[in-house]
Chain A
Amino acid sequence: MTTAIEVQGLNKYFGSYHALRNIDFHVESGERVVICGPSGSGKSTLIRCLNQLERHDAGEIRVSGILLGDNVRNLDAIRREAGMVFQHFNLFPHLTVLENCALPQILSRKTPRPEAENCARQYLDRVRILDQAEKFPGQLSGGQQQRVAIARALCMEPRIMLFDEPTSALDPEMIHEVLDTMVELAEGGMTMLVVTHEMGFARQVADRVVYMEAGEIVEIAPPDRFFDAPADERSQRFLSKLVRN
Chain B
Amino acid sequence: MQSTVMTSPHLRRKSPLVLRIAKAFFGDLLGACLTLLSVGILLALVPAFKWAFIDAHWYVATPQGCFSGGACWAFIGSKLRLILFGLYPPEEQWRAALVVGVILIMVLLTAWPRLWGARLLALWAVGIALMLVLMAGGIAGLPPVPTSKWGGLPVTLLLATLSLGMAFPFAVILALARRGSLPIARAIAIFLIEIVRGLPLVGLLFVAAILLPLFLPADWTIDKLGRTLAALTIFAAAYLAEVVRGGLQGLPSGQIEAAQALGIPYWKTVWHIVLPQAIQKVIPPLTNTAIVMVKNTSLVLIVGVFDMLSAARSAATDPAWPAPSKEAYLFVAAIYLVICYGISLYSRHLEAGINARNRS
Contacts and interface: CB of A to CB of B under 8 A. Distances in A.
Contact of B357 (A107, A108, A139): A139
Interface residues of A, number: 26
A136 B359 CA distance: 9
Nearest to A99: B272
Contact of A107 (B254, B264, B358, B359): B264
B261 interface: yes
Interface in A215-244: none
13 contacts: A51-B261, A53-B257, A53-B260, A82-B261, A86-B257, A86-B261, A90-B257, A91-B258, A92-B273, A104-B263, A107-B265, A136-B358, A156-B263
B261 A83 contact: yes
Interface string B253-292: 0110111111111001100110011001000000000000
Nearest to A96: B357
10 closest pairs, A vs B, by CB?
A90-B258, A108-B263, A79-B263, A90-B254, A84-B261, A104-B262, A138-B358, A139-B360, A136-B357, A107-B268
Interface string A93-126: 1100000000110011100000000000000000
Interface in B243-261: 252, 254-255, 257-261
Nearest to B360: A139
A180 interface: no
B356 to A, nearest CB: 9
Interface residues of B, number: 23
Contacts, number: 69
Given A136-B358, A138-B359, A139-B357, A108 B262 contact: yes
B139 to A, nearest CB: 39
Contact of A93 (B257, B268, B269, B277): B277
Contacts of A139: 357-360
B113 to A, nearest CB: 10
Contact of B276 (A82, A94, A138): A94
A103 B260 CA distance: 13
A88 interface: yes
Contacts of A103: 272
Contacts of A82: 261
A153 interface: yes
Given A79-B263, A90-B252, A90-B257, 17 more contacts: A53-B261, A84-B261, A92-B258, A92-B273, A93-B277, A94-B276, A94-B277, A107-B264, A107-B265, A108-B262, A108-B263, A108-B264, A108-B265, A138-B359, A153-B261, A156-B262, A156-B263
> Chain A CB within 10 Å — which of B257, B258, B260, B273 has the most?
B258
Contacts of A93: 277, 358
A152 interface: yes
Contacts of A90: 252, 254-255, 257-258
Contacts of A94: 276-277, 280
Interface centre among A86, A104, A136 (most CB of B within 10 A): A104
Interface string B325-360: 000000000000000000000000000000001111
B359 A92 contact: no
A104 B269 CA distance: 9
